[in-house]
């Protein structure tokens, strides 16, 4: 099976996003994939300054936690991004990380399939669209990659709601188990 890197972008310990990300990872692991989960909590990630040094060297001028995440992403077959929805968009820390993964663009990256898990209080189907579009814009820069799937789990308003929401947990698990 494939090497899956799951990147959880929620910064809140025990968040709904974190719990559902864990269920997704369990599903992927039970399907036989090698799974590593990275949380952006406690990570030191600077903003991209647009110097484009990475386009010549495949490395960033900043040697922070984003550099390690980029190396792991480069070697993974499958990437999974998990984000809470803030103001109908991906979390700011996810966007910052996507910008900092720019050194992957000129590299011989391994990943082909990219997945997105979005979690929100709102339940309207259009709630994750801007986050999906933002990630798709990033993926469009990687000719060998595609958005292979997206799962939106709404209705998780208060802290701990996902813990009581077995249907959402089951959907996250099934989504992970069905990954290529």
Helix and strand tally (H, E) in the chain?
7, 5
Judged by phi (left if over 0) then psi (alpha if -120 to 50, else beta), residue 112 lies in alpha
Strands (E), the chain: 3-8, 34-39, 78-84, 113-119, 146-153
* Phi, then psi, of 125 in degrees rounded to 5: -55, -30
Beta bridge partners, 84, equal 119
State how beta strands 34-39 and 113-119 pair.
Answer: unpaired
Looking at residue 1, its pLDDT comes to 83
Query: Could you report the per-residue pLDDT of 139-171, keeping only the tens digit for each?
Result: 999 999 999 999 999 999 888 999 999 999 999
H or E segment and range at residue 31: none
Are the C-beta atoms of residues 38 and 11 closer than 8 Å to each other?
Answer: no
Q: Which residues of the chain have pLDDT under 70?
A: none
Q: Which domains does the chain have, with CATH numbers?
A: 3-177 (3.40.50.360)
Are the C-beta atoms of residues 162 and 156 closer than 8 Å to each other?
Answer: yes
């Amino acid at each position: 099976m494939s090497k899956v890197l799951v990147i959880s972008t929620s910064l809140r310990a025990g968040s709904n996003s974190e719990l559902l990300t864990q269920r997704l990872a369990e599903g992927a692991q039970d399907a036989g994939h090698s799974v590593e989960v990275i949380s952006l909590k406690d990570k030191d990630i600077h903003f991209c300054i647009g110097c484009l040094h990475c386009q010549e060297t495949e490395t960033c001028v900043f040697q922070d936690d984003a550099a390690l995440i980029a190396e792991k992403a480069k070697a993974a077959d499958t990437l999974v991004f998990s984000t809470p929805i803030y103001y109908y968009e991906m979390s700011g820390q996810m966007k910052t990380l996507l910008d900092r993964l720019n050194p992957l663009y000129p590299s011989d990256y391994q990943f082909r399939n990219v997945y997105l898990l979005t979690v929100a209080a709102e339940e309207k189907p259009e709630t994750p669209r801007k986050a999906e579009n933002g990630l798709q814009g990033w993926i469009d820069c990687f000719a060998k990659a595609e958005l292979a799937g997206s799962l939106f789990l709404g209705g998780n308003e208060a802290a701990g709601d996902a813990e009581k929401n077995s249907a959402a947990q089951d959907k996250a698990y099934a989504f992970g188990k069905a990954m290529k």
